[in-house]
Chain A
Amino acid sequence: MNRSLETAVGHRIKTGLNRRSFLGAGFAGIAFSGGWISFARAEPGTTLVGVLEEDPPVMNPAITAVVSSYASGSPVYDALTEIHPDGSIHPELAEKWEISPDGLTYVFHLRRGVLWHDGAPFSSADVKFSIENANGKLHPWGRGAFKSVSSVEAPDAATVVLKLKQPQASLISGTDSACGAILPKHIWEKETIATSPFNHKPIGTGPYKFKEYVRGEAIRYVRNEQYYGEKPEIDEVILRIIPDPAARVSAFENGDVDMVYHGAIPFSEAPRLAKMSGVTVKTTDMRGAAYLGIINVEKGPCMKAEVRQALAMAIDRAFIRDNVAPEYALKMVGPLPPASPLVDKTIEDYPFDPKKAEGMLDAAGYPKGANGIRFEFNLLWPNYDQVMTKAADIIFRNLADIGVKVNLTPLERAALNQKGYIGREFDMIMETYGLGPDPDIGVERLYNSNNILTPPVPFTNGSGYRNPEVDRLFDEQRVQLSPEKRREIYNKIQRLIWKDIPVLPVLCYNAPNAFRSSYVTGIFNGSYGNQEDYKSAKLVKK
């Protein structure tokens, strides 16, 4: 883009240097030197530059669902399977697998001849070690996915057998990169996994090898020449660390960065980037991602279901969708995201009806006081989230119309965790939640009373919602082998939860990923842009 300008100025500097212009040229030389000093470097090879929002707390997707951990660990690690956005399951480290008719035994036949990046051979012992110590024990989603596993056996180097206490249809959804990354046993068996330094120098079996991490600057990966699949085309993948959202967008716009996954681009900027020439913005459904309003059902007026229903009728969610993120927002009715195959599409939404809401609040024992106020309502959300900041403003007005005074409380992450989820000083917390890969993993955690933890932990059942019937149905569906039966029970669950409405689904969304399609293709085709491994990335031939 700026090549011609650089060359022109470089030419002038090289030819027209005299003493008078020396100072000016020196300055200009520094400014424009990108072009003319290029002869000084060695042949650089092909590169792909992406971006991270922060120095990742760990580069280990086997133990955490933090976005930067996924993004930095995914090029390095493989899982047993790869699940495509259409839900189809494909081999990765497992070549094929069989599930016994009673649903109690899963046999995975592993790919042979796979090597770890340090040259050690990959075997079933690694899979057993990972599921037992990382995926099934430490990963927030993996704990749900591998809940029913009673033992992991490795009868020979290329076979892994999972024995289950009871059938669990959702288990297979935990075997891909979302929570099933496989770690090398020979590296990790001597380590305390959560705090090990290997969390920042990952060794995996994936298409890219970790090469270097310069804190605050970038993480570098080089192509794994011994990768078992088709050789990745691009020599080097670099993920730059740019914490400021505006700086990320600028770096993408001026070509310093080739790709930005969803979450690293503000929703408000994505439509503008999509209009740039040579840029493609591709959305992914993430198998369900939504902004949810977690309502505290343990105290105050919101203890009553009628009050929560009234709030749902008073908040104009269609207006929020149309105004805060019109390009990417989706309507969500009930606890399941529209992307889930189990969603019950016949559930009716609460109508936007402030009049009726007022009547319900009167009937529930919350009439307007002398000052026109029924009660106060503490609304918390993460202060860095632009979408929720706008939504909160709309909710403030909507609820003011029915006499509910909203105390707007944007908080930074640490304070939100502490005051909200742990300190319980809230009526509603709004923020983004991953609802996949299967409702057993992403959705049940919000509603099953066995996930009300002491001390409380963020992103569990934060509402404090207890419905024995719902708990029972969750257990009942988990062991169903027949998809129809499972759907039937899930339909009941959805209706019960929707009636109680302990969580208000503000909006669901498709997440935009941006990349310079004039330079690279074959990325962001998976369900999650932040779990990209770049093995199919191809440079556009000029």
Chain B
Amino acid sequence: MLGSLLKFSLGRIVLSIPLLLSVIVITFLLIHAAPGDPAVLLAGDAPAPEFLAQIRYAYNLDKPVWQQLLIYIIKAAQLDFGSSIYFKRPVIDVIVERLPATLLLSGTAMVLASVLGVALGAWAAQRKGSGTDSIVSGASLLGYSIPTFWLGQLLVLLFAVYLPLLPASGMTEVRLRYTGFAHFVDVARHLILPACTLAVFELALIARFTRTAMIDALGRDYIVVAFAKGGRKRHVVWRHAFPNAVIVSITIIGLEFGALLAGAVVTETVFSWPGIGRLFYDAVFRRDFTLLSGLFIFASLAVILVNLVTDILCSLLDPRIVR
């Protein structure tokens, strides 16, 4: 069991190398296909030709695209992802600096969404067709359809402006520099609104998938058999149906988590949360080629890694998957 799991994981890791390479090439070309010159954006209004020349030279922007790409791949193979054109610092540093904020936000939102989503979905599935089921389904449809930016702004207006209970944006109170436990509480206060905003969409998604999977599982023959054998309802539902249904939920959670790590772009922008998502947003509009490429590589790695973990988790729950 463990051996085959290891082989499975190694296989996935080896497969990810050509995947990463194609991510680099495609994103690099894609970014350069978009109109815009990072040097002009960096220099601002009517830049002096000397100013542009200094920037273009420093970031190889004066070379043809294929040369830039080649230089990038060779350096990336040595784990050198270059410097962000905009921030003028190594891309790795820029990303690592923003990572904790995103992990905190996405992690909190994901835990919130997963626990509540799975519970709600499983709960509703057992009452299929009932009033409570309709309410859960309707609510999750609503949660799934509400635009995140709109929900975020609405929550800010409600809980930060009209009822000034929570901060409107940012991650810490800049005026008072809390330390220790007070700092923890301060960050937690700032986390509530963005985490809830981000969680709503995922919660709705997970609840819907879990409900469907659970209804499907509950209709299977082995459930009928389990009941026929005289199993108590609670036992049959949670020991027989739920583990099979939750595999679907875990797969969805895994897929979404990868996406979330890559950036809760909208939520982080609405709440000025200093994470990867906002970095992505800014890098696109500034045509910060090096930072964007680095972010894409990071995002791909995150997705690959999380999917690997998801697959391992699922295989532990259902040994048929590895075979």
Contacts and interface: CB of A to CB of B under 8 A. Distances in A.
A and B co-occur in one complex: yes
Interface of A: 1-2, 5, 29-34, 37-38, 40-41, 44, 47, 49, 54-55, 57-58, 63-66, 69, 137-140, 143, 192-197, 199-200, 214-218, 220, 238, 240-244, 246-247, 250-251, 253-256, 412-415, 417-419, 422-423, 434, 445, 453, 457-460
Interface range for B: 35 or more
Contacts of B182: 33, 37, 40-41
A477 to B, nearest CB: 21
A418 to B, nearest CB: 4
B76 to A, nearest CB: 21
A140 B157 CA distance: 40
B176 interface: yes
A37 B87 contact: no
Contacts of A457: 40, 46-47, 49, 52
A2 B174 contact: no
A520 B210 CA distance: 54
Contacts of A69: 44
A139 B41 contact: no
Nearest to B185: A33
A267 B173 CA distance: 27
Given A41-B176, A44-B176, A418-B37, A251 B169 contact: yes
B88 to A, nearest CB: 6
A181 B35 CA distance: 33
Interface in B264-292: 269-272, 274-275, 278-279, 281-282, 285-287
Given A57-B44, A199-B88, A414 B34 contact: yes
Contacts of A458: 40, 45-46
Nearest to B54: A194
22 contacts: A33-B189, A37-B182, A38-B176, A40-B180, A41-B177, A49-B174, A55-B86, A140-B47, A193-B54, A195-B58, A215-B97, A217-B171, A217-B172, A243-B282, A247-B168, A250-B157, A250-B160, A254-B164, A413-B36, A417-B37, A457-B46, A457-B52
Which of B51, B55, B89, B172 has the most CB atoms of chain A within a 10 A radius of its CB?
A: B51
B108 interface: no
B279 A216 contact: yes
Contacts of A63: 51
A422 B287 CA distance: 16
Given A47-B174, A413-B41, 18 more contacts: A55-B87, A57-B86, A57-B286, A63-B51, A64-B51, A65-B45, A69-B44, A137-B50, A195-B55, A215-B98, A215-B274, A216-B275, A216-B278, A217-B274, A242-B170, A243-B282, A254-B167, A414-B36
A64 B42 CA distance: 9
Given A137-B50, A138-B50, A200-B88, A216 B160 contact: no
Interface string B283-303: 001110000000000000000
